[in-house]
Structure 1
Amino acid sequence: MKTRLLIAVAAVGAATCAFGTSPTTLKLQRGGTTVPVTTPLGGAPYASLELDPAMSAGDADSGDVGDIGSRPVVNRGLPHGHAGGNSMGTARRAKSSPELLGGFDGLNFHDQRYANGGNQFSIEPPDQGLCAGNGFVVESVNDVLAIYSSNGGKLVGPVDLNTFYHYPAAINRSTGAYGPEITDPSCYYDAGVQRWFHVVLTIDRVGTTSSFSGNNHLDIAVSQSADPTGAWNIYRLPVQNNGTQGTPDHGCAGGFCLGDYPHIGVDANAIFLTTNEYALFADGFYGAQIYVIAKRALVAGDAANVAMFNAGDPAIPAPAFTVWPAVSSGGQYATGLGGTEYLLSSDAVFYDSGTSNTLWLWSVTHTQAIDSAPSAVTLNVAPLTVKPYAVPSSLARQKPGSTPLRDCFALTGCAPTYLGYPNFVYPAPRDLAVNDSRMQQVSYANGKLWGTLDTDVLLGDGSHGSGISYFVINPDSGGIFANGTLALPDANLTYGAAAVTQSGRGVIAFTVVGPNDYPSAGYASLDAKAGAGDVHIAAAGAGPWDGFTGIPYLGDNRPRWGDYGAAAADGNRIWLASEYIAQTCSLAQYLSPPLFQCGGTRGALGNWATRVSMIGL
């Protein structure tokens, strides 16, 4: 796409500029209650309808919408250039991990596919939602949820999210009826009010058919106590933004907008949800949306005021893509200007070069007005100059190993006999995709703003790979405490997510993958003075990624790996959740009963898993 010209923003006070337009105000009503209850694993090992036909086309992150006609794709990206030339970071591999206090395998592809008696689709990539507090860990990966004690014991789960949000099953394999499509889970435990918040994007169907109606909404579950295994209240916020159901009309092509990629932030007064707005039934990006929701009302189970900012408004001189709101560490909030929430976004994807040295610092101020005068809430934004970062330019190589799905496609007669698809020969091992340079998880702790994003780096052999740019920012002045690149000479680091304790000690979680590494769960310390530390392996991968995306006939042209990771501060501990590969099996084991499941460790079309780790600081 053509280079976008950015308008300079004048520095006012804390290097921000407020806009005169008032937010759209809405009222959010409670829609019911739910209690997380384990749904049984089961169903046939493979079905003729493994993939949701309304979701299984196009390339989300490259901007390629594929051969989908009027069907949408979620987790979309933007067309962008790719850039190289960034020097390699200076990280080393740590020889030991004394901070690693424990860990356990979380949800995996097998849980996703066979939850609710098998009335689920095969889904790749997994979107990671993790939150922790009050002695509990909640993990949510589309489209399942589990609740653990702090020692890793599973208390509830897997729970399919259609059941959790009181919808029919994703696919009823007895009747063929479809339920709503749920994606992009996020979760947060607010220590200040001792409540859990869980958010998903839900896309409605036309009746029980596979077709989407166009209506889509953010479903928000709020626990009624500090115990996530108890009852939750449910709210539904429409985000099609076409003038229906109280939404403004943003003129999205095809008549319906899509509230993609929702994420949670929080200050003392409000919960903040942000989305990337696309046309649902056509091409077109319309800018990020910022929803400010009265927290006290949500905690009480009452109707809640909402102030909605369209950050794609031409009056706003910042390119608004993945504007990620900050979560608070241990109930710490910015209280200036009548209550303030900070957000960060990046802009390299808007340039033909795929490079940038600018971050955008957003703030929502006067948030204490959300309960009585939501129109008084104010949006501000300003550019920050940082070290250059770039859209990663290549796929990640991975260590050779057993890949039975790939082998079945390559073996004459195997895929047609067992999977119903033609043979297709791939090189082994297959490469997998890294993230683009969108902002990832943002935290507010110890008066500072902490964030990460993926960036292109040069590896030790001169090839391009992925590393993680990190930022520690003074949000009041715009000053930079720490800014650098975390990278290894022989492996990619991708989907970084940073969490920080109240005292300002942080950890970045990520996946490590390269020619000598199966996809592994890694982490590094993050400090406002010293920057990022050595790379630790919390759990080494057991084999290569072996999933269905990137295979012709299965709809997605890109071999997907994740959409985001997650980390959560809990006192002086930080919980991490990263995608990795926890199993390996041969083609013979893959084709042995129960078919395709390798002893209950994977499904026919995928083998992703997650590792939940506890770091003591």
Structure 2
Amino acid sequence: MTTPLGGAPLTSLEQDPAMAGGDADSGDAGDLGPQPVVNRTIGRRHGHHGRNWMGHGRRAKSNPELRGGFDGLNFHDQRYANGGNQFSVEPPDQGLCVGNGFVMESVNDVLAVYDKSGNELVGPVDLNTFYGYPAAINRSTGAYGPSITDPSCYYDSDTRRWFQVVLTLDRVGTTSSLAGTNHLDIAVSQTANPTGAWNIYHLPVQNNGTQGTPDHGCDGGFCLGDYPHIGADNNAIFLTTNEFALFGSGFYGAQIYAISKKALVHGAASPNVVLFNGGDPNIPAPAFTVWPATSPDGQFAGARGGTEYLLSSDAVFYDSGTSNTLWLWSVSNTRAIDKAPTALNLDVSPLTVQDYAVPTSLVQQKPGDTPLRDCFALTGCAPTYLGYPNIVYPTPRPMAVNDSRMQQVTYANGKLWGTLDTDVLLADGTHGSGINYFVINPHSGGLFANGTLALPDANLTYGAAAVTRSGRGVIAFTVVGPDNYPSAGYASFDAKIGAGDVHIAAAGAGPWDGFTGIPYLAGNRPRWGDYGAAATDGDRIWTASEYIAQTCTLTDYLTAPMFQCGGTRGALGNWATRISKFEL
């Protein structure tokens, strides 16, 4: 523990040791800091060798579709929930679900419930408490609780129930060491009110032959059910994961879990579960981030005995970092999940789309106050107040964007809608990030719309799309560039025009100033999000985007209570989220 002069100390337990070094799904080797215990690495190169689309989109002059919004959860909420018995976590990873007059947001690692005016009804409550576990770290005793990450949520208007999913990694007792077992924890509300009681289910995903799991032979003896996401059709809830070796190296293919929706809703003790192993050599697709679709207002695909559609991309597997292929997955005969679960069928087929490419991993952001960066650069500041040696970075530090994995998928109006991030060429000749969008006919594999949303002078990243049952949608994302602090942006989305002009829902107040990417803290890879979120509620669409809602000087940062800048950030980060409402 360090002892700063004139304020409270920065503890020696700011980060979960199990996650030290950060999620490395799309990172490069050679971190200067300690390597993570959880190693989630897929090798790939940046997409500078394929076709790069120029940023040609337009900035809108007004925001006619926006009908309100409010700030959601932020870094300060995350770090100081549960009496401060939390770790500093970056990035937030957002879950958002909306229905029955409520808005629920979850991030790494807190949750809140609001009414539709943005009044907070519950929270911020830490996810360890929500799922009935001990605190992430008990700062009085030093005891560790399970390590929770990657939240997602979904409101099912068909059953009027809420579903909240996380990945949970067990510890060896109350020590910081991981036991190897890990599970998807599925919370299901007992009523249509998310502020009431929930049932909790635990689905083991270590897939090493223990606790009823199959043995996938992951290096080191335990698989990891990383990056879980949720979808649904009329009969089943679908959860997908990226399966990595937990204690070794290697990627073993995405996993698709179909679970009886009826059993979950009725609180059954042992709902039927069907697992499709994307790592099976008989499956033609390189299965990575296979994202299941959600459907607005119960508009599920009823063909072939009930069908769930999923999408994935594959550019990360090629040295060029480019591809013109998406993979369409479908699980059919889902109505058999309760009586004959082995009768569910999996089909996979390629779709030819516009070229897309893995974006350049780091982009420029607008200069401004960055007190964490400034403290590391100022002689004596970091050693005195943070307990680490000085290190000098550019002002401000470059910010990370997404790779080209599939993002949120929707089945609406008989079509399949999705986005992913792609490399684009900016007007100054540098490479940046834009958003490739798709509107697909899942029956024929044809495309209603396919294009790239990009700006000539800024980056768009972590797109999340939602669509109403009539086929009108919104893509939400972060806008960042030399003239833009990280801001919450959006564009309209339909099957005829594709994506519309870029709007700003909430402008960033300052630069990103987080701990990831700093040696001694989290290696050399900065982080910004893993995914945003969007949800449909009748003719309304709600989105949650990461942005920066605060700014403060180094003097503010070192003023008691230290590192909090008046309760707007934490010592090691300043991310925030913006929840926006659109009427279509």
TM-score of the superposed pair, with normalisation by structure 1: 0.92
Question: What is the aligned-residue RMSD (CA, Å)?
Answer: 1.3
Q: State the partner residue of 1:613.
A: 580
Which of 59, 63, 67 lines up with 1:93 in the alignment? 59
SS of aligned partner of 2:81 = helix
Deviation readout 1:105-125 (Å, 9 max, x if unpaired): 000000000000000000011
Structure 1 Cα separation of the partners of residues 112 and 317 of structure 2: 37
Structure 1 Cα separation of the partners of residues 13 and 161 of structure 2: 38
Contact map agreement 1:125 1:563 (CA 8 A) in 2: yes
Q: How does 1:501-512 map to 2 (within 5 A)?
A: 501-512=468-479
Contact map agreement 2:45 2:320 (CA 8 A) in 1: yes
Structure 2 Cα separation of the partners of residues 151 and 190 of structure 1: 21
Superposition deviation, residue 69 in structure 1: 8.5
Q: State the partner residue of 1:79.
A: 43
Superposition deviation, residue 82 in structure 1: 1.4
Which of 589, 592, 597 lines up with 2:559 in the alignment? 592
Contact map agreement 2:26 2:44 (CA 8 A) in 1: no
Identity %: 78
Structure 2 Cα separation of the partners of residues 224 and 326 of structure 1: 23
Unpaired stretches in structure 2, ≥5 consecutive residues:
1-6
Q: Structure 1 154/255 Cα, relative in aligned 2: closer, same or farther at 3 Å?
A: same
Deviation readout 1:121-153 (Å, 9 max, x if unpaired): 000111111110111000000100000001111
Q: Structure 1 600/609 Cα, relative in aligned 2: closer, same or farther at 3 Å?
A: same
Q: Which moved more, 1:55-64 or 1:114-123?
A: 55-64
**Is 1:440 paired with 2:404?**
no
Contact map agreement 2:85 2:138 (CA 8 A) in 1: yes
Contact map agreement 1:45 1:603 (CA 8 A) in 2: no
Deviation readout 1:343-387 (Å, 9 max, x if unpaired): 000000010100000000000000000000111111100000000
Structure 2 Cα separation of the partners of residues 491 and 176 of structure 1: 44
**Is 1:182 paired with 2:148?**
yes
Contact map agreement 2:31 2:525 (CA 8 A) in 1: no
Q: State the partner residue of 1:409.
A: 376
Q: State the partner residue of 2:20.
A: 56
Contact map agreement 2:411 2:417 (CA 8 A) in 1: yes
Structure 2 Cα separation of the partners of residues 490 and 381 of structure 1: 38
Structure 2 Cα separation of the partners of residues 559 and 205 of structure 1: 26
Which of 525, 548, 563 lines up with 1:581 in the alignment? 548
Deviation readout 1:472-493 (Å, 9 max, x if unpaired): 0000110100000000000000
SS of aligned partner of 2:316 = helix
Q: Which moved more, 1:440-449 or 1:82-91?
A: 82-91
Q: How does 1:17-416 map to 2 (within 5 A)?
A: 46-57=10-21, 59-64=24-29, 66=31, 72-73=37-38, 76-84=40-48, 85-302=51-268, 303-416=270-383
Letter in 1 for 2:225: G
Contact map agreement 2:20 2:34 (CA 8 A) in 1: no
Contact map agreement 2:361 2:403 (CA 8 A) in 1: no
SS of aligned partner of 1:405 = helix
Superposition deviation, residue 45 in structure 1: 6.6
Contact map agreement 1:65 1:73 (CA 8 A) in 2: no
Unpaired stretches in structure 1, ≥5 consecutive residues:
1-42
Deviation readout 1:5-41 (Å, 9 max, x if unpaired): xxxxxxxxxxxxxxxxxxxxxxxxxxxxxxxxxxxxx
Contact map agreement 1:274 1:291 (CA 8 A) in 2: yes
SS of aligned partner of 2:272 = strand
Superposition deviation, residue 70 in structure 1: 8.8
Contact map agreement 1:330 1:571 (CA 8 A) in 2: yes
Superposition deviation, residue 555 in structure 1: 2.3
SS of aligned partner of 1:107 = strand
Q: Structure 1 368/45 Cα, relative in aligned 2: closer, same or farther at 3 Å?
A: farther
Superposition deviation, residue 47 in structure 1: 1.3
TM-score of the superposed pair, with normalisation by structure 2: 0.97
Structure 2 Cα separation of the partners of residues 602 and 512 of structure 1: 20
SS of aligned partner of 1:146 = strand
Contact map agreement 1:136 1:149 (CA 8 A) in 2: yes
Superposition deviation, residue 46 in structure 1: 2.9
Q: Which moved more, 1:269-278 or 1:47-56?
A: 47-56
Structure 1 Cα separation of the partners of residues 195 and 583 of structure 2: 25
Q: State the partner residue of 2:434.
A: 467
Superposition deviation, residue 439 in structure 1: 0.2
The alignment covers a number of residue pairs equal to 574
Contact map agreement 1:82 1:392 (CA 8 A) in 2: yes
Structure 2 Cα separation of the partners of residues 281 and 66 of structure 1: 18
Q: Structure 1 518/150 Cα, relative in aligned 2: closer, same or farther at 3 Å?
A: same
Structure 1 Cα separation of the partners of residues 36 and 45 of structure 2: 26
